[in-house]
């Protein structure tokens, strides 16, 4: 199946936030990410591939999509490159529906560990955090404030498929305050004025929500007020702070290790 100029135009528009919002679709590109999509039973709307660009590893992938009755579209190299965001495109990408992002609809009582990102600006940092959230059993990630949109090519690529196994909600402080009160979730703020993480904080059936702030300014005063506990990572004074994706990942890993699993 070939595609029309108009379809190509729509595809290119998915590289922009506006295009993704209007079409409720995003692009996932590359073999590894699409293998992860399959593993988590994500069925793309359409798969696009470029016969001159794909390697052997792409073939079983394309066959699996075919089995799932996903529409496969051939693209000439020129068109593929116009849509691709990769430095060295592997010749396969898919359009996928943007998932539900309403916190009330996504929340399940079974979530023991939740990540909250406030004003997180950098797509690479968000992608890395989504990957780590998946790794350490943080099944729900809540974005608030001016946090970057999670379905841009850069974020999707940085998750290396991690975004397919976590739920991503967009919310605000009022709704979050209500949730932690009603569900008795312990809100823990990552902050340089905090204390080291202790086992008591996460033991038993405690539900934890870990809050991370912006790269430049940390958490807002309003969010700090909501948090009963502040934790930090001990390090030398040779740097002022850690990268937020590193700090968040370290804290998620420590919480994961200390939790009764």
Using CB under 8 A, which of 10, 64, 101, 165 touches a second copy?
Answer: 165
Residue holding tokens 């890993």?
253
Asked if 137 is part of the footprint of a second copy (rule: CB under 8 A), the reply reads yes
Residue pair 209/116 in contact by the 8 Å Cβ criterion: yes
Q: Is 110 in the site for a second copy (CB under 8 A)?
A: no
Distance CA 224, CA 214 (A): 13
Name 60's Cβ contacts closer than 8 Å, sequence gap at least 6. Answer: none
Q: Contact region for a second copy (CB under 8 A) — 69-77, 100-108, 160-168, 197-205?
A: 160-168
DSSP state of 52: T
Which residue from 46, 73, 90, 132 is in contact with a second copy, where contact means CB under 8 A?
132
Site stretch for a second copy (CB under 8 A), options 8-16, 76-84, 101-109, 245-253 = 245-253
What the block records as the tokens of 160 is 């290396």
Q: How far is the CB of 16 from a second copy (least distance, A)?
A: 17
* 90, 158, 214, 259: which one binds a second copy (CB under 8 A): 158
Residues 18-37 that bind a second copy (CB under 8 A): 32, 36
**77 near a second copy, judged by CB under 8 A:** no
Query: For residues 1 and 7, what is the distance between their CA atoms, to the nearest angstrom?
Result: 12
User: Using an 8 Å Cβ cutoff, are 130 and 151 in contact?
Assistant: no
Shorter beta-carbon distance to a second copy: residue 47 or 166? 166
Identify the three-state secondary structure at position 79: helix
Exposure string of 160-186, with b = 16+ CB inside 10 Å and e = fewer, is bbbbbbbbbbebebeebeebbeeeebe
Q: Per rule CB under 8 A, is residue 249 in the interface with a second copy?
A: yes
Considering only residues 214-233, where is the footprint of a second copy by CB under 8 A? 233
DSSP state of 152: S
**Which residue lies nearer to a second copy by CB, 75 or 231?**
231
257 binds a second copy (CB under 8 A): yes
* Sheet with strand 46-49: strands edge to edge: 25-29, 92-97, 46-49, 71-74
Query: With binding defined as CB under 8 A, does residue 65 bind a second copy?
Result: no
- Extract the tokens encoding 220: 């807002």
Nearer to a second copy, 134 or 219 (CB): 134
Q: Which is nearer to a second copy, 172 or 196 (CB)?
A: 196
**Interface residues with a second copy (CB under 8 A)?**
32, 36, 124, 128, 131-132, 134-137, 158, 160-162, 165-166, 233-236, 238-243, 245-246, 249-250, 253, 256-257
């Amino acid at each position: 199946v070939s595609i029309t100029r108009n379809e190509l135009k729509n595809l290119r528009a998915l590289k922009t936030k506006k295009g993704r919002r209007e079409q409720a679709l995003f692009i996932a590109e590359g073999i590894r990410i699409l293998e992860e999509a399959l593993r988590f039973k994500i069925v793309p709307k359409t798969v696009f591939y470029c016969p001159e660009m794909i390697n052997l590893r792409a073939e079983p992938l394309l066959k699996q999509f075919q089995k799932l009755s996903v529409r496969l579209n051939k693209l000439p190299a020129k068109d593929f490159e116009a849509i691709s965001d990769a430095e060295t495109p592997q010749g396969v990408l898919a359009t996928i529906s943007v998932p539900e992002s309403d916190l009330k609809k996504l929340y399940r009582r079974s979530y023991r560990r939740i990540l909250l990102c406030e004003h997180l600006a950098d797509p690479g940092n968000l992608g890395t955090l989504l990957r780590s959230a998946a790794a350490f059993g943080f099944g729900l990630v809540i974005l608030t404030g001016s946090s970057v949109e999670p379905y841009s090519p850069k974020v999707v690529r940085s998750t290396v498929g991690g975004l397919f196994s976590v739920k991503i909600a967009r919310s605000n402080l009022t709704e979050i305050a209500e949730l932690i009160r009603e569900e008795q979730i312990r809100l823990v703020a990552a902050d340089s004025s905090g204390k080291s993480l202790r086992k008591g904080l996460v033991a038993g059936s405690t539900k934890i929500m870990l809050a991370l702030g912006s790269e430049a300014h940390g958490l807002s005063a309003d969010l700090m007020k909501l948090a009963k506990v502040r934790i930090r990572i001990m390090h030398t004074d040779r740097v002022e702070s850690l990268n937020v994706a590193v700090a968040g990942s370290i804290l998620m890993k420590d919480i994961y290790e200390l939790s009764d699993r």
